[in-house]
């Protein structure tokens, strides 16, 4: 019998109305949204349920909104008895994974990602940094391209290694533009600029890491009950001290998503359940390994269908 991994989406998967039907039907689920409002002293739940999209997309809102919605949906699995052998999340989703693994409380997770969002937005003046997706170029060649531009004084580096042929680069606007041009010359099929508020997972985020350390130092982080596969190493982590260091590094280091998924497969995972809005991670996992079984769960109906399917499979 193969193992199960819960995976949690990162920024970009947020949509207005996510979790709303579920919360309206289920008072225990609604409690997560109410609790998030209390922790942040903010009406985040209104922004999640009713928008506007521009406000929800702001980094400071998108991060706690996605964590809240994903954990609210995860509650359906907890009650069903379906448990994961591993958890992982893409960038912001790593915090959701840590809540799922018992390393952070829900309240700590919501607070930490709101602060993380603030620090990320402030680290680089608006418009000075950006990100772009590079399609159809392998990581070694793209790494050579970015290193050359970076060393010439225009910061740019690999940011998200999502799946074969899809890598996001991040850095100064000039660095990303130059690297995009060079990538095309080196054989990239397409370079797509991303709508982001900053150069996430690049060296330009280092100023934010000292502030994040202060926040994490103030939390009562616990050892994880379920191994969490870290973005920065693609290796399972479970001790509180290791988790904290990896979260700080994650801010300015590439997200090794392809490697993380491959590591879980190597450790016996054959079923990935994406818990939260969208199907981005399920799509990436299929591109990494076509034989992996993936489920996307964003509401009560899809959660129940997955729970029933897994129980039937594993009887």
Q: Which residues are catalytic?
A: 91, 201
The beta strands (E) that lie in 34-128 are given as 86-89
C-alpha–C-alpha distance, residues 182 and 308, integer Å: 49
C-alpha–C-alpha distance, residues 235 and 259, integer Å: 9
C-alpha–C-alpha distance, residues 18 and 14, integer Å: 7
For the CA atoms of 230, 232, 235, 240, the dihedral, rounded to the nearest 10 degrees, stands at -50
User: What proportions of the chain, in percent to the nearest 5, are helix, strand and coil?
Assistant: 50, 15, 30
Residues whose CB falls within 8 Å of the CB of residue 308, separated by 6 or more in sequence, listed in order: none
CB 114 within 8 A of CB 64: yes
């Amino acid at each position: 019998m193969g193992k199960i991994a819960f995976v949690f989406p990162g920024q970009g998967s947020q949509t207005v109305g996510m979790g709303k039907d579920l919360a309206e039907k289920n008072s225990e689920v609604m409690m997560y949204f109410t609790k998030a409002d209390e922790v942040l002293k903010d009406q985040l739940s209104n922004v999640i349920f009713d928008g506007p999209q521009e406000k929800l997309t702001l980094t400071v809102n998108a991060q706690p909104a996605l964590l809240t919605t994903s954990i609210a949906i995860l509650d359906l699995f907890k009650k069903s008895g379906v448990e994961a052998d591993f958890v992982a999340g893409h960038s912001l989703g790593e915090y959701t994974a840590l809540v799922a693994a018992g390393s952070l409380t829900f309240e700590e997770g919501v607070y930490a990602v709101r602060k993380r969002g603030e620090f990320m937005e402030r680290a680089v003046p608006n418009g000075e940094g950006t990100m772009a997706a590079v399609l159809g170029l392998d990581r070694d060649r793209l790494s050579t391209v970015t290193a050359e531009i970076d060393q010439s004084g225009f910061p740019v580096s690999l940011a998200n290694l999502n799946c074969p042929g899809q890598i996001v680069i991040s850095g100064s606007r000039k660095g990303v533009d130059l690297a995009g041009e060079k990538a095309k010359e080196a054989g990239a099929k397409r370079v797509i600029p991303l709508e982001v508020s900053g150069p996430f997972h690049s060296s330009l985020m280092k100023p934010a890491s000292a502030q994040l350390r202060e926040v994490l130092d103030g939390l009562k982080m616990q050892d994880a009950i379920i191994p969490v596969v870290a973005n920065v190493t693609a290796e399972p982590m479970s001790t509180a001290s290791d988790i904290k260091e990896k979260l700080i590094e994650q801010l300015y280091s590439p997200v090794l998503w392809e490697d993380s998924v491959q590591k879980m497969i190597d450790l016996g995972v054959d079923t990935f359940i994406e818990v939260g809005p969208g199907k981005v991670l399920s799509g990436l996992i299929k591109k990494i390994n076509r034989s992996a079984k993936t489920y996307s769960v964003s509401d009560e109906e899809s959660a129940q269908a997955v729970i029933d399917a897994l129980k039937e499979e594993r009887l």
